[in-house]
Amino acid sequence: AQSVTQLDSQVPVFEEAPVELRCNYSSSVSVYLFWYVQYPNQGLQLLLKYLSGSTLVKGINGFEAEFNKSQTSFHLRKPSVHISDTAEYFCAVSRRTGANNLFFGTGTRLTVIP
Amino acid sequence: DVKVTQSSRYLVKRTGEKVFLECVQDMDHENMFWYRQDPGLGLRLIYFSYDVKMKEKGDIPEGYSVSREKKERFSLILESASTNQTSMYLCASSSEGLGFSGELFFGEGSRLTVL
């Protein structure tokens, strides 16, 4: 079975500061990894995904994430946040084969402070 | 533009009522999903469907059923609503099948309150 742990439930950060949202996963098989973002009163949308190849993945809105197989991590980073980045961020994992579903973490609420 | 539409953004129902949550997608996707979102618990899968009239239980199917009579429409049914089903319900669809590597497209959610 797969599982995802998001270590921080809330992360406050000042505008223009860098941010890292942490995600660790557990799986006995190879996986795909995802970050989704949920803006207030909206559904989730894909931020970025790691399928294969380069371990550094770039997404929308200046976000990037690095896949670290040895540490089973997929942390999300942005060098300089904006007020508009205030949202909830979800890390998710799926098996590479035989999977029909994503397993989501519990989410990290990022609050950007002016 | 890709669209997943949930018919009701906010609903208030009484305990014991039958509740229908409707979801329609316009992307001709094979797979559709119903998730429940609760604070501190993230998203949990209730049911999914990979084809018309096909359904599979997710992680928390108890108290729910689903219907998929047409490819574009996936309904979630609460036969007898209870207060512990007060939650945000999210519908999603995807074009990918087994060996999931695709993107989930979500609706805006239906916030259900059961009194």
Answer yes or no: do A101 and B58 touch at CB < 8 A. Answer: yes
Contact B110, B88 (CB under 8 A): yes
**Chain B residues touching residue A107 (CB < 8 angstroms):** 42
- Model confidence at B77, pLDDT cuts 50, 70, 90, reads very high
- pLDDT value at position A2? 77
| Local structure of B31: helix, strand or coil | strand
Average pLDDT over residues B8-22: 96
Q: Give contacts of A 69-88 with B, CB under 8 A.
A: none
Answer yes or no: do A107 and B42 touch at CB < 8 A. Answer: yes
**A31-48 pLDDT, tens digit each:** 899 999 999 888 899 999
Contacts of A69 (CB under 8 A, 6+ apart): A55
Contact A100, B98 (CB under 8 A): yes
| Nearest residue in B to A89, CA atom | B42
**A13-34 pLDDT, tens digit each:** 999 999 999 999 998 788 899 9
- Nearest alpha-carbon partner for A5 in B1, B42, B74: B42
**B36-76 pLDDT, tens digit each:** 999 889 999 999 998 898 999 998 999 999 999 999 999 99
* Best residue of B60, B100, B103 to probe chain A, by most A CBs closer than 10 Å: B100
- pLDDT value at position A94? 86
Q: What is the DSSP string of A2-36?
A: -EEE-S-SEEEEETT--EEE--EEE-SS-EEEEEE
